[in-house]
Amino acid sequence: MRKITLILLVAILAGFNSCKPKEKKTDEAPLIEKKSIELKGDLMTPEVLWSLGRLSEPELSPDKKTILYGVTYYDVAQNKGNRELYTIGTDGQNLKRITTTRFSEYQAMWSADGKKITFMAAETGSMQLWEMDPDGSNRKQITSIEGGINGYKCAADQKNILFTADVTPEKQFTDLYAGLPKASGRIYNDLMYRHWDTWVQSYSHIFVAGLEAGQVTKGKDIMLNEPYETPLMPFGGMEQITWSPDSKVIAYTCRKKKGMEYAKSTNSDIYLYDLASGQTANISEGMMGYDVAPAFSPDGKKIAWQSMERDGYESDKNRLFVYDIAAKTKSDFTKSFDQNAESLAWTDDSKSIYFISDFHANDEIYRLDLASGEIMKITDGIHDYTGVIQAGDKLIASRMSMSAPAELFSVDPKTGKDTPITTTNKDVLDKLALARIEQRWIKTTDNKDMQTWIIYPPHFDPAKKYPTLLYCEGGPQSTVSQFWSFRWNFQMMAANGYIIVAPNRRGLPGFGQAWNEEISGDYGGQNMKDYLSAIDAMTKEPYVNKDKLGCVGASYGGFSVYWLAGNHNKRFKAFIAHDGMFNLESQYLETEEMWFVNWDLGGPFWDKTNKIAQQSYANSPHRFVQNWDTPILCIHGELDYRIVATQGMQAFNAATLRGIPAEFLYFPDENHWVLKPQNGILWQRTFYNWLDKWLK
């Protein structure tokens, strides 16, 4: 439910010895490439949205002259995507596509000398590590690990590689399965038996192997068969694991808890594993919240990481901590900085750290000077930066907005001026009439100023009246920033003739910690009043048709829709809730990450002495169904284990039994999101068919 942004940090990689690749498996499916799409007018459509390339994982070459990155394109007919690799100069010149395969390439990185590129691909059946020349030639397989690998990083001295792979715990209750080879039943005796969209049957460990022998077939498990995982599931990536510059130490993130203790706690730590001694040290011991994403300074003297203070609070302030290895001391450099610090990147001289922080619903680049402790804002605009890398006298950063998906930019660290490097989707976007984005500050019922995005339809005519949508954000602590979504896409909504009102209501970061925390234990409280303040303010505009208002949202936004359905006083004429919480008492016992419901709802519903918990459950949307009077579309995925599909079923059944027009869009093969191309287009068509039916 929270917004998760994963940025892979820059890694210095080793070269590899040659080895004979395994025989390739044949794949008769057509190659997925960028295709020209026929536009129907100049408006965004679901098909156009799914034709856009998705740029990710930029990596800078050792000489800081070339960027390596991937772009994923989807083929709707094949119902799948494929990711290919590209290189481009930091000046935006010499764009080259270096792979053309039916097998997606992931986690591509440069070797330390810049003469090789390593990457992961499932070309031989399981995900393995490969290498090739920078022009894509001489493609060779490096690992042959049984079951495949999940991620990797290579030591700078070119002697060792670390990789992550799944470890299966010893089977319990083996005597009960004797003579039952076809039995499918699973027996559990503790919590966290499933997580987000997967039944937990294994956990990821770090392995180390030498490279001198050629192809790697096995490695040493540095976690000593511990029943813990790293990276942290379900969103953790290789940014949570790194080598020291001298190749002697591995730093990694781990929550060394299991079962019910794991389900109730967010307390992860930063561990250092010494290759020579085999000893492991916890450098964040006693720090009780999330500690993640360790990053060594280039001189190897310090480690920076992101840290949350409180155990059980997954949306606490992300602080920037730095650990002095020789002195064994750590410092919080963001004590007086009332914002989050994410995506940390050291400067080459080890004296400063660049990071991304959300301020007033825009994710900008900041710089921390370690000597003075001063934090400087580098960029300013209507956009979201998602990662930053120093490249000599400039920065290379990924940037997106509500008007365009991610592209790479060159940023002047002195002025903040940015210049585009890549133009992956320019040919399509230039042909579209795009929505105008406006920022407004709206007064709330308690006289606070609330930042709200207003998105106007293309070819907007203020003399006309438009149906208008209130957008409810998920998380619940996720900013309505300048994100580009391939499902909840504001350009797509506007292209269908709707004005969108997207408030940064109470409970969102980017407006100070106090604003962020005014939602936990107050579901159905001030943040719902904020939503109504936003839509009520907009209905005063002559171009808003106040008789044609809709309300849409997912996750906590879905909860918001269900709650407002029983408390909107006939403002809205249509609702859409995706993966929303409908019955909070059911939610408490159906979800898997117990820390979330314990913190945000206040605890279990049976604790009658807990006033916060009782207030939460009194505001459960199912308690207001008797007030429902408006058509509602409920959407849910079967593989969503954070908010299970029966929540959507309950809401749909309640509406139907009360005689309210309702539809239920059910995806048996989707989780908390909709990730398959054809399902994504079906989602879009159903979404707008429902809105058009009731609002036009």
CB 228 within 8 A of CB 254: yes
Instruction: State the pLDDT at residue 10.
Output: 29
Average confidence score pLDDT of the chain: 94
8-state DSSP, 240: G
Instruction: State the pLDDT at residue 490.
Output: 98
- Phi/psi at 44 (5° precision): -65, 140
Instruction: State the pLDDT at residue 34.
Output: 84
SS3 state of residue 294 = strand
- Which neighbouring-strand residues pair with 419? 410
235 is a domain residue? no
- Residue 347: how many CB atoms within 10 A of its CB? 18
Determine which helix (DSSP H) or strand (DSSP E) holds 468, and give its type and residue range.
strand 466-472
- Cβ neighbours for 45, distance < 8 A, ≥ 6 positions apart: 39, 492, 495
659 is a domain residue? yes
Work out whether strand 418-420 and strand 362-369 pair parallel, antiparallel, or are unpaired: unpaired
- The letter for the amino acid at 288 is M
pLDDT, one tens digit per residue, over 610-643 is: 999 999 999 999 999 999 999 999 999 999 999 9
Stretch 3-22: mean pLDDT, rounded?
31
DSSP H helical ranges for 551-641: 556-565, 584-590, 594-600, 611-618
- Cβ neighbours for 78, distance < 8 A, ≥ 6 positions apart: 29, 30, 32
179 is a domain residue? no
pLDDT, one tens digit per residue, over 318-371 is: 999 999 999 999 999 999 999 999 999 999 999 999 999 999 999 999 999 999
Instruction: State the pLDDT at residue 38.
Output: 80
My answer on whether omega of the bond before 413 falls inside 30° of 0, hence cis, is: no
Q: Which of 455, 447, 444 is nearest to 496 (CA)?
A: 455
Domain residues for the domain of 543 are 433-508+523-583+620-695
- Residue 102: how many CB atoms within 10 A of its CB? 15
* Rounded-to-integer distance, Cα 501 and Cα 504, Å: 10
201 is a domain residue? no
What percent of the chain has pLDDT above 90? Answer: 91
* Rounded-to-integer distance, Cα 351 and Cα 336, Å: 20
* Rounded-to-integer distance, Cα 285 and Cα 308, Å: 13
Q: What is the domain-level CATH number for residue 442?
A: 3.40.50.1820
CB 161 within 8 A of CB 208: yes
- Cβ neighbours for 164, distance < 8 A, ≥ 6 positions apart: 149, 150, 151, 152, 204, 205, 206, 207, 230, 231, 238, 241
At residue 680's C-alpha, the angle toward residues 679 and 685, to 5°, is 95
Write the DSSP string, 397-463: EEEEETTEEEEEEEE-TTT--EEE---TTHHHHTTSPPPEEEEEEEE-TTS-EEEEEEEEPTT--TT
Instruction: State the pLDDT at residue 213.
Output: 67
CB 128 within 8 A of CB 144: yes
Tokens of 54: 């998705």
Least confident of 7-11, 261-265, 442-446: 7-11
Stretch 154-167: mean pLDDT, rounded?
94
pTM above 0.85, yes or no: yes
* Rounded-to-integer distance, Cα 391 and Cα 62, Å: 9
Instruction: State the pLDDT at residue 33.
Output: 82
| The residue to which tokens 């390596």 are assigned | 68
- pLDDT of residue 37 exceeding 90: no
How many domains does the chain fold into? 1
Active site residues: 555, 640, 672
141 is a domain residue? no
Most confident of 34-38, 207-211, 438-442: 438-442
pLDDT, one tens digit per residue, over 175-187 is: 899 999 999 998 9
- pLDDT of residue 6 exceeding 70: no
Q: Which of 515, 632, 521 is nearest to 582 (CA)?
A: 632
- Cβ neighbours for 253, distance < 8 A, ≥ 6 positions apart: 230, 231, 232, 236, 240, 241, 268, 269, 270, 271, 291, 292, 293, 294
CB 183 within 8 A of CB 171: no
Give 333-374 as a 3 state SS string: CCCCCCCCCEEEEECCCCCEEEEEEEECCEEEEEEEECCCCC
CB 566 within 8 A of CB 575: no
pLDDT, one tens digit per residue, over 48-71 is: 999 999 999 999 999 999 999 999
**Ramachandran assignment for 210, one of left (phi > 0), alpha (psi -120 to 50 degrees), beta (any other):** beta
684 is a domain residue? yes
- The letter for the amino acid at 237 is G
My answer on whether omega of the bond before 476 falls inside 30° of 0, hence cis, is: yes
Stretch 82-104: mean pLDDT, rounded?
96
CB 687 within 8 A of CB 678: no
Tokens of 526: 């001030």
My answer on whether omega of the bond before 134 falls inside 30° of 0, hence cis, is: no
* Rounded-to-integer distance, Cα 240 and Cα 205, Å: 12
- Which neighbouring-strand residues pair with 160? 210
Q: Which of 472, 669, 454 is nearest to 563 (CA)?
A: 472
517 is a domain residue? no
458 is a domain residue? yes
- Cβ neighbours for 41, distance < 8 A, ≥ 6 positions apart: none
Tokens of 198: 């997967």
Stretch 522-538: mean pLDDT, rounded?
97
CB 253 within 8 A of CB 204: no
pLDDT, one tens digit per residue, over 582-596 is: 999 999 999 999 999
pLDDT, one tens digit per residue, over 211-266 is: 876 789 999 999 987 899 999 999 999 999 999 999 999 999 999 999 999 999 99
